[in-house]
Structure 1
């Protein structure tokens, strides 16, 4: 059976740690694909600070 695991973090290092922790739990032959995305937007405040969203989806065989 094919399954997915979705990760979403504001900091790329947090995403990396979380994904590596999950990937250690599955065998290499279970991994099908990894999709990665980065989104950025400005806050609706005066300082216009950028907000980042780092996300990834791991597709694997259960």
Structure 2
């Protein structure tokens, strides 16, 4: 079960059912993996997320 702010509900994809909560403050995404497991997709996702957050922070002050 995922409960997210309404702005994130449309971004979770078809594999996850989300319950949009109107007026919910920002959400924090937490990723986990087994220690020592190679995760090239997760590494690429993390790199992209950091880039997007840095760009948003530089542009409008939100990450």
The normalised TM-score by structure 1 is 0.30
Which has more strand, going by share of residues?
1
The structure in which a higher percent of residues are helix is 2
Larger RCO: 1 or 2 (CA < 8 Å, sep 6+): 1
TM-score under structure 2 length normalisation: 0.29
